[in-house]
Homo-oligomer: A and B are copies of this chain.
Amino acid sequence: MREKWFSEYWTDSIKFSVKVKKHLYSHQTKFQKIDFYDSFELGRFFTLDDIMMANEKDQFIYHEMMIHVPMSVNPTIRKVLVIGGGDGGSVRELTKYPAIERIDMVEIDEEVVRKCQELLPLTACKLTDPRVRLHFEDGAKFVQTAQDYYDLIVVDSTDPIGPGEGLFTKEFYEGCHRILGSEGILVNQHESPYFNNTRAEMIRAHRKLAALFPIATVYQAFIPTYPSGHWLFGFASKLHQPNEFQANEELLGSFGLEYYNKDIHQAAFVLPTYVKKALESE
């Protein structure tokens, strides 16, 4: 039988390929093409417009780093807005905190959520938590008209091409700033510093956030299945510095985390010189 591989172009001339056991599902929604695969090395994974979003092997890294960094800086967070994040992994990590009272998740494409609930329960398992409200609408529009205030906004978006584009604009970040409380924190997926294409996006996103928030920096994690494996998260904050580690360590220890820990929290903000230079460039 002929081998099947899924290939993702990290740049025009760099390709990452995964041998596939089975192509489980493929559908063009109103917004994007969704595919689910089962693979030998990464377990199940899904793609949007042929870009890998999450896989069973390393999804824990992305979701732990997205959520536990801001939650450890301000453990009194009660109301969270998740933009995107249709696979549910960010929500799953958030629901570990008893202090969180409400999670609004705004995902433009309901089919992503429903298919992840069916085929990727590892990430989607907590979307039925009673504190979670699902809003199937455009995150950019939601933020413009929202009347509520949030303690934390998690921008768990795709790349700034296609449906994710509106989640990297100045207007979107301004809207987020407006609906964040006085101790509010925003974290977002912030692309990679390594390849030219994603580095340009990283710099643009950072400048926009730094123009709005008194505290704006990035932190990083080893995520082998994202382009270059060197992935950044943005941390923008009205009051709290990123090194204010205030977590209840007993609670944190009970979560069974496999990547994030107290020391990683600090180390994740330490950037290689070339990344610092790129962020500081005019």
- Indicate whether A282 reaches chain B with its CB closer than 8 angstroms: no
- Indicate whether A12 reaches chain B with its CB closer than 8 angstroms: yes
Chain B residues with Cβ below 8 Å from A5 are: 15
- Indicate whether A254 reaches chain B with its CB closer than 8 angstroms: no
- Indicate whether A272 reaches chain B with its CB closer than 8 angstroms: yes
Q: Given known contacts A13-B41, A258-B273, what 10 new A-B pairs fall within 8 Å (CB)?
A: A14-B16, A14-B42, A15-B18, A17-B17, A222-B230, A224-B229, A258-B274, A259-B272, A260-B273, A264-B270
Answer whether A230 and B220 are a contact pair too, CB < 8 Å, given A15-B17, A17-B14, A41-B13.
no
Within 8 A of B (CB), among A258-281: 258-261, 263-264, 266-268, 270-274, 277
- Indicate whether A194 reaches chain B with its CB closer than 8 angstroms: yes
Measured CB to CB, the closest approach of chain B to A194, in angstroms, equals: 5
- Indicate whether A208 reaches chain B with its CB closer than 8 angstroms: no
Chain B residues with Cβ below 8 Å from A261 are: 272-273
Contact A263 B259 (CB under 8 A): no
- Indicate whether A11 reaches chain B with its CB closer than 8 angstroms: yes
Contact B195 A41 (CB under 8 A): yes
Chain B residues with Cβ below 8 Å from A229 are: 222, 224, 228-230
Chain B residues with Cβ below 8 Å from A19 are: 12-15
Measured CB to CB, the closest approach of chain B to A4, in angstroms, equals: 11
- Indicate whether A237 reaches chain B with its CB closer than 8 angstroms: no
Chain B residues with Cβ below 8 Å from A17 are: 7, 14-17
Contact B13 A16 (CB under 8 A): no
29 A/B residue pairs, CB under 8 Å, sorted by A: A11-B41, A12-B19, A13-B18, A13-B19, A14-B16, A14-B18, A14-B42, A15-B15, A15-B16, A15-B17, A15-B18, A58-B194, A61-B272, A194-B224, A220-B222, A224-B229, A229-B229, A257-B273, A258-B273, A259-B272, A259-B273, A259-B274, A260-B272, A260-B273, A261-B273, A263-B270, A264-B271, A266-B267, A266-B270
- Indicate whether A39 reaches chain B with its CB closer than 8 angstroms: yes
Chain B residues with Cβ below 8 Å from A12 are: 19, 40-41
Chain B residues with Cβ below 8 Å from A260 are: 272-273
Smallest Cβ-Cβ distance to A193: which chain B residue: B222
Smallest Cβ-Cβ distance to A274: which chain B residue: B258
> Digit string of A88-106 for contact with B (CB within 8 Å is 1, else 0)?
0000000000000000000
Measured CB to CB, the closest approach of chain B to A12, in angstroms, equals: 7
Within 8 A of B (CB), among A1-57: 5, 7, 11-19, 39-42
